[in-house]
Amino acid sequence: MTTVECQVEGLFVYPFKSARGQAKAAVRVSSTGFEWDRNWMAVDTRGKFVSQRTQPRLALVVPEITDDALILRAPDLPDLRVPLATGGTPAHVRVWDDECAGLDQGDGPALWLSRFLSHEVRMVRIIPQPQRLANPKYAGADPKPVTFVDGFQMLVCNRASLEELNARMPEPVPMERFRPNIVLGGLPAFAEDRIDSLRLGDLTLRLVKPCTRCVITSTDQQTGEISTNPLPVLRTFRFDHALHGVTFGENAIIVSGSGSVLERGCIGKVTFEG
């Protein structure tokens, strides 16, 4: 095993699944990942999650966590305020192939989101102790609870990898297209492919699976419009035959450090696979 230093260059939380991310100077770690990450989402009339894959305008929904509420802001609508106090009607929802429990947040939030998306949806939040788990094939036998994320507790990206991609692109794309939780600096491009563990202060992560990328990477996160698509370029040098897709970034699970606070700028230690 080889150990080197790195630095946390960016921290991002996405309280509402597929809405705009929040850049943070510091973030608390919960048992499921970053505090408030993907705790709310939109679902269709069948309870299936709704994302930028079919509703790119979700990129224009800007969330903010205050002391007592989730605030959602969107163009041409009044702000939506949803209390943080857990409540709602139990609902069965689906994220990919996972059936999981949620709490419907009522008609007001549903009407607000449906009006903005021009599509009938409901708003749900995660239950206090989520039973959905990261895939044990990658996460291991120790259960790792997750919220409404696509599959794992955190997503780690590497600044140098983006620079390597952009050197091949006709025009550069920003890191926000890849919606990371943690952005690392001080490592070679795509060094994350070989990382076994990542220690950041009191937090220790294990990187368990490359992240396969989808059409969301072509959506401008500031405008909600389709823009430069990095997938064709990624396919030329980042296609993973085992996963049947192009990869950028690594999915991670928490080994230890739940309850700790991670700060942007902190120096971490990376242990590479032997």
pLDDT > 90? residue 263: yes
Query: Looking at the 3D structure of the chain, how many domains does it have?
Result: 1
pLDDT > 80? residue 274: no
pLDDT > 80? residue 125: yes
CATH number at residue 126: 2.40.33.20
Provide the pLDDT for residue 86: 78
Closest CA to 254 of 154, 183, 186: 154
User: Which range of residues forms the domain containing residue 68?
Assistant: 2-272
Q: Are 208 and 252 in contact (CB under 8 A)?
A: yes
Provide the pLDDT for residue 98: 96
**pLDDT interval class at 273 (50, 70, 90):** confident
Cα–Cα distance list, 226 to 122, 220, 271 (Å): 25, 6, 37
